[in-house]
Amino acid sequence: MNKNILFQASFWIWATVSIVSAQTFKGQGIQVQISEIPKPKAPAELQILDLEFKESGDLANKMLDADEIVSVSFRLKNEGKGAAIKNILMVEPMSTLSGLNVSGTMNLGNLEPGKTEQYTFQISGSSQLEEGEASFKVWVKESNGFDSDPAVLRFNTQAFKSPMLVLSDAIFTNNEGEGRIKLGKTVHLKLLIQNRGQGIAKNVMIQIKNPDKVFAADQTDFQFASIMPNGTEEINYEFFTNKQFSEKEISMEVLGTESYSKYGFQEIKSVSLEKNLAQTQVIALESQRPQDVQIVAASLVAEVDRNIPKNSNANPNRYGLIIGNEDYSSYQTGLSVESNVAFARNDAKIMKEYFLSVLGIPTENIDLNFDATAGKMNQALDRLNKIIKNTQGTAEVYVYYAGHGLPDDNKEPFLIPVDVTGANVKSGIKLMDFYSKLTEHPSKRVTVFLDACFSGAARGQELLAMRGVRIKSNSQNLSGNIVVFAASSGEQASLPYQAKQHGLFTYYFLKKLQESKGNLSYTEMYEYLQKQVGLNSVLVNNKEQNPQLLISPGVNPKLQEWKFN
């Protein structure tokens, strides 16, 4: 039997009882008629057993926190031969901490010999609770004087720590590859909510308000019971415009509130109808006083995907070709999504931003291709070949490829378009023909970044989703002014970096470009990639991966002089 006790700690019930003319016992907050107290026929013997401090909710730290309510339970046993009459719970503070409150009923009723009852009372800490150690003496007062021996409860208290809700990141995406917002088409807004305070954010409400002529595809309000310090919650919101929307950008108001109504946020997130969007990714009590949680700003994307350095001078003689082949399963019957190349589209999209901002390649000089078929890859390669031919040796060419590759029966490596199967490798693009096409005509330089997968799978089997080069390089076959940064060497595979949503090789290449702003030589980049990719491949993927630099004979003496910017 569980009985709840309600009384305020602002006054304390003492054992002082006086006899008055009305023949009643009076104490603070209680009045008992003498005639109601029967004389004992045998002594009662009360014992308090199993006094226990109980917490509920997210933060069970065996201490009382500000604005927290805890329960204290105990068993009351009568081991005497007489009944315990009109028992009253007594809770006396032994410490002087402010902000402590106790509540419950005063009267526990009678307890027959040999019987045991379970009781619970509550202790709460206000927002003004002091940090320290609280102690209470707990005993039961029996009307005939057969009181229990006292028990002492001690526990630590934790002063108030505020939460701080922030909108840590926001990304607008669609399913149109690199496309822009289209009126009447669904757009996705992904939000990352973070608690950067040291207190728990409770009863969190996130509301999204649309401008005129913009409509939600689903809910606009999102609720979370709590967000822990440094914790995050992700929200996926879908909306669309009607055909009458005439503004140049869409501005969404995002409002975040929590239980105190003072540690939230109100922000406007806007997206231009002219801006290229990303594709949607398929992203006591024994207690130890806690240290402050280390707060790290959360993000929906890797750090290399934002704050990309911008060089002021564009070079009209620079040209770029980027191919990100990720989705093979949509083009080939019988392939599972596991056969896709993880993050190849994101690699290609972000690589374009670095081609533009760091390498200084003009927008019109960059050819970006997502999920390229054999026809599209050959067409892009032929176009670049003609550009090189018609620039009379002044062109600086940068080519990036992320996707599958396979060797043929003679172990010759092929780049594999999304519509070419493992049983028909020769329909792909032979890697040496790929290099030859880039160096057929004179150029100032050709730089290739190859984060591909040559898995060596048998013909007719699924393409493997591993991203990696498993070919033995032969730089002696290279001609012209070409340098190839290959993701791995020998029989190794180059792998994804799941946490960063990039290929491991690509991530560290972008990271070095970001840190250096492109002001480094090819040799410095290669040395960095060897060290970082070599080490982190083991740490992240538990496999070795060592990038390789392939250099044509004519470039070797100039390699120290070649820089990215």
Q: What does the pLDDT look like over 377-433, one tens digit per residue?
A: 999 999 999 999 999 999 999 999 998 888 887 888 889 999 988 788 889 999 999
For the entire predicted model, the pTM comes to 0.56
DSSP 3-state of 335: coil
Does residue 475 or residue 74 have the better pLDDT?
Answer: 74
Parts of the chain belonging to CATH 2.60.40.10: 2-158, 165-279
- Per the prediction, the chain carries an average pLDDT of 82
Q: Is 316-558 a domain of CATH 3.40.50.300?
A: no
Amino acid type, 251? S
**Mean pLDDT value of segment 339-358:** 91
Q: Is the pLDDT of residue 10 over 90?
A: no
Q: Please, what CATH class does the domain formed by 165-279 belong to?
A: mainly beta
478-487 pLDDT per residue, tens: 888 999 999 8
CA dihedral for 302, 304, 310, 314, sign (positive or negative): negative
Residues of the chain with pLDDT > 70: what percent? 82
pLDDT at residue 27 is higher than 90: no
Split at pLDDT 50, 70, 90, the class of 375 is very high
Closest CA to 85 of 49, 37, 47, 15: 37
Q: Which residue has the tokens 């898995």?
A: 455
For the chain, the first-to-last Cα distance in angstroms comes to: 79
Q: Is the pLDDT of residue 31 over 60?
A: no
3-state secondary structure of 353: helix
Where along the chain do the CATH 3.40.50.1460 domains lie?
316-558
What pLDDT sits at residue 275?
A: 57
284-337 tens-digit pLDDT: 455 555 666 666 555 667 889 888 998 878 899 999 999 999 888 888 877 777
Q: Residues, the chain, total?
A: 565
Spatial separation of the C-alpha atoms in residues 306 and 453, rounded to whole Å:
27
Q: Is the pLDDT of residue 190 over 60?
A: yes
Q: Spelled out in words, what is the top-level CATH class assigned to the domain 2-158?
A: mainly beta
Tens of pLDDT along 40-83?
999 999 999 999 998 876 567 788 988 889 999 999 999 999 99
Average pLDDT of the residues in 281-285: 43
